[in-house]
Amino acid sequence: MTPADIHAHFDLQRQASRAHVDVPLLVRRERLLRIAKMLDEHGPVLAAAVQADFGMRSPRLTEVADFFVLRTLLSHTLSHLAHWMKPRKVRTPLYLQPASAHIQRQPLGVVGVISPWNYPVQLALAPAITALAAGNRVMLKPSELTPHTSAQLAALVAQFFAPDEFCVVQGDANLSALFASLPFDHLVFTGSTAVGRKVAQAAAQNLTPTTLELGGKSPCIIDGHCDMQDAALKIAHGKLLNAGQTCIAPDYVLLPRGREGEFAQAYRAAVARLFPTIEGNADYASIITPRHHARLRTMLQQAQTQGAEVQTIDPAAGKPVVHTVGTLGDGASRQMLPTLVFGATSQMQLMQEEIFGPILPVISYERLDDAIAHINAGPRPLALYWFGQSETVRDDVLRRTVSGGVTVNDTLMHIAHDNLPFGGVGDSGWGAYHGEQGFLRFCHQKSVLVQSRWAMGSLFYPPYGARFDQIMGLLRRWL
């Protein structure tokens, strides 16, 4: 699309949102049902596009990580939408009675969505679903790093929606910058903290409110009393889903000193259970591009040069490789082996940036206080994970740390709970969506006071005198 095309689409949606401010429940439901129909009828085509973009990523992985999440979101939203839309009555204070008051939940207008490449269907459509449920128009800019998926989304959305309802624009980073500069009524960005800062600056020029879903170094604390085998399996699943290219993947592990060997053995067993082979296994995704793959390899080389112990895990070492599916492009060559890193330090790139790959640093700690201090010394993470048995220790960790969300004795799962808001804090983002919190994020909550014919507001009018003093004295005693 050209800049003129993008401005034309925006103007069309803006005019429609102003001409039809009130969007009835039936219209909103019908729009959501169209997305459900689109997924049901064209899911295989979208999954094939994701596979083509990654080079190696099973349609079943896309089914669970993209489509299933969207279907649960649609089901939850459709079930609760009528209730969410209702005005909320609020109590009126004594000094304003007998007036009545309520909060009216209205659409904001036009919502822009800039989505990432790692879950290119889920993270494109999830905010769009919630924004449409709130009665808004939506413009979506998907990632240029997943061109097949972006093209399919553009074609399918154009097939199922009028351009003044929901449309997709495609282009490179320059087009993304233009997109972020449009005067949306709300802008959602999912991606890196560095790009999130640029998006926030562009949106600020128009006073456009934003929801930034970023990332960061999400820690995983292993307590001294936990089932190491169970913890390692759940950490391996959270770390290696989509080959670690997940914003809430465990970024590093904090482990009681002296248990490094036990954890390494348990983690290796967990990897072998989840992925008996790596190369050619479509359940184990490729790193998205050669550039991203090279970055991860550079991280490992630097860590090893500076004294860290790097342990790669190849469950099929010494065994003949059996390819489960044919490869597309160089996908298999970008399937990076799961790797543990012991002895990583804060001077290493590995501990300074979000990893976004199948590399797991393990940091040893003497006391829980040391682990908490390590977390609190850095930017606030998008997620935090704790494994242990003591509720007292668990609650101590939750009280003394701040993160976007937490899963206890598992990883990732808090994102799947539709009644929990999902979002970051500080460098990991701001604003949250999912469920009713997402609905409210894309609404304007308009305050309405309906005055009574019996109102006594004139008691507060000037000229002020003795009667005013008596009334104010009486109110002070009541308040």
Q: Which pLDDT score, from 0 to 100, does residue 318 have?
A: 62
Q: What is the tens place of the pLDDT at every residue in 403-419? A: 999 999 999 999 999 99
| Cβ atoms within 10 Å, residue 436 | 18
Cβ within 8 Å of residue 137, ≥6 positions away: 13, 14, 16, 17, 109, 110, 111, 164, 165, 166
Percent of the chain topping pLDDT 90:
90
DSSP 249-312: S--EEEEETT-HHHHHHHHHHHHHHH-S--TT-TTSPPPSSHHHHHHHHHHHHHHHHTT-EEEE
pLDDT of residue 323: 44
**Residue 213 annotated as catalytic:** yes
Tell the CATH topology of 3-214+432-444: Aldehyde Dehydrogenase; Chain A, domain 1 (3.40.605)
The per-residue pLDDT for 155 is: 98
CA distance 287 to 329: 12
Domain boundaries, the chain: 3-214+432-444, 219-420
pLDDT at 322: 46
Helix (H) or strand (E) run with residue 394 in it: helix 391-400
Closest to 165 measured CA to CA, from 120, 131, 114? 131
One-character DSSP codes across 188-254:
EEES-HHHHHHHHHHHHTTT--EEEE-----EEEEPSSS-HHHHHHHHHHHHHGGGG--TTS--EEE
CATH code of the domain occupying 219-420: 3.40.309.10
Handedness of CA 332, 285, 177, 215 (dihedral sign): negative
328, pLDDT greater than 60: no
Confidence tier at 320 by pLDDT (50, 70, 90): low
Instruction: Encode pLDDT of 191-201 as tens digits.
Output: 999 999 999 99
Structure tokens at 207: 């006073």
Contacts of residue 333, Cβ cutoff 8 Å, sequence gap at least 6: none
State the catalytic residue, choosing from 220, 226, 247, 443. Answer: 247
- What distance in Å separates the CA atoms of residue 213 and residue 196, rounded to the nearest whole number? 8
The 10s digit of each residue's pLDDT in 416-448 is: 999 999 999 999 999 999 999 999 999 999 999
What amino acid occupies position 321? V
Catalytic option among 165, 167, 213, 220: 213
Provide the sign of the torsion angle of the four alpha carbons 148, 150, 153, 156, taken in this order.
negative
Rounded to 5 degrees, φ, ψ at 226 are -155, 165
pLDDT bucket at 330, cuts 50 / 70 / 90: low
Please write the tens of the pLDDT for every residue from 49-105: 999 999 999 999 999 999 999 999 999 999 999 999 999 999 999 889 999 999 999
Mean pLDDT for all residues in the chain: 94
On the question of pLDDT at 382 being above 90, the answer is yes
Q: What is the mean pLDDT of residues 202-209?
A: 97
Equal fold, 3-214+432-444 vs 219-420: no
Judge whether 279 counts as a catalytic residue. no
